Structure 1
Amino acid sequence: MTDAPTRAQRFAALIGPAARNAGYDGYGSGARLARDAGMSESSVSRMLKGQGIPDLEFWAPLCDTVGVELSDLLAEMGIPLESLRTLSETKQSQVGSRSITPAELADRVGIHDPIGREMLAATIERLKRLEDQDAADETGDDHGGTAARI
């Protein structure tokens, strides 16, 4: 009996061949792919080996780089596109609307794997920090150099 492929293996099975078809093959291809998608070389290496999945923030740039539709990647990862559309169409300004937690978002889009839920929550927190930093930059509120902002 064969075990079902992991999410990371399914991710690699879709992205790996697309990367090769897009010219990311041979010596230095991982470094080029990492640079072009804005990822680290180690993340690309783990991803292509089916040992890890990049943070959600890299999925769209990665898809653009290798020529895969983001909707196809979401489908392969078991994230129904309809669920994301429903969430994006909901306006916070609607009467009675409220923010939802990362756990609620994971439930709504059908992410039940504990690691996937942790990745989603971590990505949301990172994006919130980046938004806060952008807002601070716009107001001139600078509390240190690059190292202080990381």
Structure 2
Amino acid sequence: MDRTNPPRKNDRATPAEFADWLRDQLERRGYDLRPRGGGQTRFAADSGIGQASISRMLRGQGAPETRVLEALSETLDLPLAEVLVAAGILTRDVLLAIRQQTPRTDPLTPEAAAEELGITDPQGVELFVSFTETLRKQRAANGGDQAAEN
């Protein structure tokens, strides 16, 4: 397996593949992962990730939490998307699809949102639109964007 890139093109990476990928990334950056090398301890200090979590990831045990993957991304100076693919959270195909989405330029109406969510029953659409309008009125009554900050 090529350990320079996140594993496999289209399938989700396994925990063992993520462990291999992470080990390679750490060793490339000078972390000595031999039993008494101190690399895990040093990386734990550098990243703020618990040493037990690092050890589990390197053994291919369990899926890391999102905050751990974010810390890996920052500490290793890698795009979060690359880390998510390496960890098997995203596939390369899903990542490509996300990157190819065209940003919406027109405002999303409640009716269009209902359609995108698969709400097709006229009563369901009416209920969705009504609920959306109620939330907008509540937001306006609470000071607009200030309500979103609280």
Could you tell me the TM-score, scaled by structure 2's length? 0.49
Structure (1 or 2) with the larger CA radius of gyration: 2
Q: Structure 1 or 2: larger helix share?
A: 1
Q: Which has the higher contact order (CA 8 A, sep 6+)?
A: 2
